[in-house]
Amino acid sequence: MPQCPLLPALSRDCALFLDIDGTLLDFSLSPDGVIVPPGLLALLQNLKIWLGGALALLSGRKLADIEALFGSNFAAGAEHGAFLRNADGAVLAETQPNPALAALVVPLREAVAARSGTLLEEKRFGLTLHWRAAPAMAGELTALAGRLAAPHPGLLLLPAHSALEIRPGGTDKGSALEAFMRRPPFSGRRPVFIGDDITDEPAIARANELGGVGLHVARDFGGTTQAVRNWLTENLERKEAGDATA
């Protein structure tokens, strides 16, 4: 599928919000196996400067994982908005961990230990089951997670790409985007969000509701992270060309 030719252009009055896995970075067999392409960090840093600092990474990853990949100088909404940190390191919001998650950890650890190619990602505010290396295990692990979570109505099960997110309700990437938009340097700008799966849909919707635009990798970029990176690069090059002719 070709990239959609009708994508909006970024402008200096935008606030840019980016998902990581499946949007900026290609998936790998395990979360720690992803590769940051050469030049991506410089691209994001230059976009951040152009946008007056209004660039944030919104991810299901732990904050430590985001920082290991991209450093600590970008604003970040970690674990689907459960933890928000500004680019200067200030904590903007932090959700209380849900104790119900503890009841799922041991049986899920045992389940992935018994199923080669699967793994359990344990985070402060949630859990993620991965089966990219063992796709036949998807139904079995999803059913198990459903049974374990059933006695805990506060927990949500959200399908992702070759994975299942298990986390408390009450926060999502849409609420994270909105929280950033209430604060400088994001406030007063037009939000632009790019994501790739069901956990990104709340932020896509919220960006649209706030007068900006929410973009989806499959629907708007032909399903490739390279197309997303190309679009970001093209916007920066357009800005630099405009500066040169001003």
Which of 80, 183, 60, 193 is CA-nearest to residue 130? 60
What is the Cβ-side half-sphere exposure of residue 70, based on CA atoms within 13 angstroms? Answer: 29
Q: State pLDDT tens for residues 108-137.
A: 999 999 999 999 999 999 999 999 999 999
Letter string b/e over residues 64-86, b meaning 16 or more CB atoms within 10 A of that residue's CB: ebbbebbeeebbbbbbbbbbbbb
H helix intervals, the chain: 40-50, 63-70, 102-113, 138-149, 173-181, 201-209, 217-220, 225-245
CB 113, CB 153: distance < 8 Å: no
Whole-number average pLDDT of the chain: 93
Q: Which is the CATH superfamily of the domain at 14-95+171-245?
A: HAD superfamily/HAD-like (3.40.50.1000)
DSSP bridge pairs for 85: 76, 91
Q: 99-168 sits in which CATH class?
A: alpha beta
Active-site positions read: 19
Pairing of strands 14-18, 83-85: unpaired
Cα(29)–Cα(162) distance, integer angstroms: 9
Q: State pLDDT tens for residues 59-92.
A: 999 999 999 999 999 999 999 999 999 999 988 9
Rounded to 5°, angle at Cα 55 from 53 and 58 = 145
**What percent of the chain clears pLDDT 90, i.e. is strictly above it?**
85
- CA torsion 81-34-134-166 (nearest 10°) is -10
Q: State pLDDT tens for residues 158-177.
A: 999 999 999 988 889 999 99
Higher pLDDT, 1 or 98: 98
Cα(54)–Cα(67) distance, integer angstroms: 17
Query: How many Cβ atoms from other residues are within 10 Å of residue 132's Cβ?
Result: 18
Domain boundaries, the chain: 14-95+171-245, 99-168
Q: Do domains 14-95+171-245 and 99-168 have the same CATH topology?
A: no
